[in-house]
Amino acid sequence: MDDMNADLACYGQKQVKTPNLDRLASMGALFDRAYCQQPLCGPSRASVMTGMRPNTIECFTLSSKFRKVKPNAITLGQYFQNKGYYVGRVGKIYHYGNPSQIGTNGHDDEATWQERFNPAGIDFTQQHEVIRYPGGKKGDKNNKKNLGISMAWWDPVSKDEEHTDGMVASRAIEMIDRNKDKPFFVAAGFFNPHCPYVAPKKYFDLYPLESITIPDLKEAKKDLEDVPALSIARDSGKRWPFWLGKKITIEEARKCKQAYYASISFVDAQVGRLMKALEDRGLMENTLIVAWSDHGYFLGEKGLWYKRKTFERSLRAPLIIAGPGIKKGGQVVRQPVELLDMYPTIVDQVGDAIPDYLEGRSLTALMENPKAQWGKPAISQVSRNKEGWGFTLRNQRWRYVEWNAGKDGRELYDHNKDPEEKMNLAKHPEYSETVKALSAQMKPYTLWAQD
């Protein structure tokens, strides 16, 4: 899923209706604290598919190409091709400009797949129907400009299969049908709930607008009074972070949040179609299913919208794994893990030795016993272009952040007492030893490790 945060029923957000992902979680393991390596589509997805950190493959932007640095990298798809599996993709797995590159291969890695399919539904072909804020109107020919970073929505009376994500599910089912008598690896990449938030009207109807709330902006922004300047910068810092910076009204923000939730439920329905296809064909009992999103997403919390922050809400992503060999009964793993851990986990689940080039760790032990000894922190990073870098470590209790090796500030949040990360403790003298210890633990993963 693209830009899907953890606002799902199975993650405790009961307002959001995700019956199929909830059911999948009840069949296997839900990772309550799974973190991306970088809260940006391109680097996060390249890291997952190569099993290596953004630093190792030098993927930091949407257009970064890991093959320039690691031309012989064996991606997850290549690994299974080498084992004799059918390996195919439909939709977005590596980065695509969304919606601008729907219907193309985008920034895909051709060697990963034997087959690639790029459907394009009305969310792409009828972008002029999108309502964009501020001041946008349906039918405006300028609506297509930069829709990939916009406050915009559309709720057509339409069938699921008229949309790109409905087409993705249909093609994935066809790929399963063609290859059901041999080992297969089918990657179904859904574009929702990435903006513009477009889904059939029936999914909007699940969320009456009066039920949608937005944090009070003045109160929300108080959370950011004690953070370094780079913490809330986004690119040049001129466009965001505050969603009212472009004169978006509270009502318009509520409409966008409604549309975001509708898009989540739309994708959930497509996941349900895939699950039913496996069940109808007698394949559920021998198929590993991994449902994941590339990063989290802000919806007005702290006065922020979108991603690219080192806060919990931007870095935490849904991750659910179910299938043969995984303990049934809805295991919930609350220890911090990384999306980087998916590749070695999948390899481990098919009974293979984990290759040395992978930088993550198999999650099998945690799926067998969520309280098993783990000890590995989650490391994430954010680029501020010429202004430098932020790196963050998340363990069971703490989130620690450094901006340019601490030269441009530090952050420390105690998740035992402050799960919403409202109070930065980094400058409090009584936490100086904690800061020192976490900084030392994180340094080997940073770009300033050799300084």
What is the per-residue burial (b if ≥16 Cβ within 10 Å, else e) of 73-88? bbbbbbbbbeeebbbb
One domain for residues 302 and 438: no
What's the order of all strands across the beta sheet hosting 131-133?
131-133, 151-154, 197-198
Per the listing, tokens 């020192």 go with 436
Which is nearest to 10 in space by CA: 330, 263, 312, 323? Answer: 330
The DSSP output letter for 66 is: G
- End of a domain among 370, 404, 433? 370
User: C-alpha distances in angstroms, 216 versus 242, 299, 302?
Assistant: 12, 12, 9
Of these residues, 41, 59, 195, 256, which one is catalytic?
Answer: 41
Quick check: is 3 in a domain? no
One domain for residues 83 and 213: yes
Peptide bond into 193 cis (omega under 30): yes
- End of a domain among 338, 370, 402? 370
Quick check: is 188 in a domain? yes
Whichever domain contains 114, its CATH number is 3.40.720.10
The rounded average pLDDT for each run of 10 residues, N- to C-terminus, in the chain (451 residues) is 98 97 97 97 96 94 90 98 98 93 95 98 94 75 74 96 98 98 97 97 98 90 93 62 69 95 98 98 96 96 92 98 90 97 97 97 96 95 91 98 97 98 98 98 89 51
Quick check: is 381 in a domain? no
One domain for residues 432 and 359: no
pLDDT of residue 241: 52
Q: How close are the terminal C-alpha atoms of the chain, in Å?
A: 37
Residue 42: how many other CB atoms lie within 10 Å: 24
Does the active-site annotation cover 36?
A: no
Residue 139 to residue 142: CA distance in whole angstroms: 9
pLDDT of residue 247: 76
pTM: 0.96
pLDDT of residue 129: 92
Q: Helix or strand or coil: residue 162?
A: helix
Whichever domain contains 431, its CATH number is 3.30.1120
- End of a domain among 344, 370, 396? 370
One domain for residues 363 and 418: no
Residue span of the structural domain in which 165 resides? 9-370
One domain for residues 363 and 437: no
Of these residues, 36, 59, 95, 195, which one is catalytic?
Answer: 95
Residue 41 to residue 62: CA distance in whole angstroms: 7
Quick check: is 183 in a domain? yes
One domain for residues 82 and 179: yes
One domain for residues 137 and 242: yes
- Which tokens hold the place of 30? 């839900």
One domain for residues 133 and 259: yes
pLDDT of residue 237: 45
One domain for residues 326 and 437: no
One domain for residues 143 and 245: yes
Residue 151 to residue 185: CA distance in whole angstroms: 35
Does the active-site annotation cover 95?
A: yes
Quick check: is 2 in a domain? no
Residue 10 to residue 2: CA distance in whole angstroms: 18
Instruction: Specify the number of domains making up the chain.
Output: 2
pLDDT of residue 62: 84
Q: Helix or strand or coil: residue 291?
A: strand
pLDDT of residue 307: 92
One domain for residues 261 and 131: yes
One domain for residues 426 and 353: no
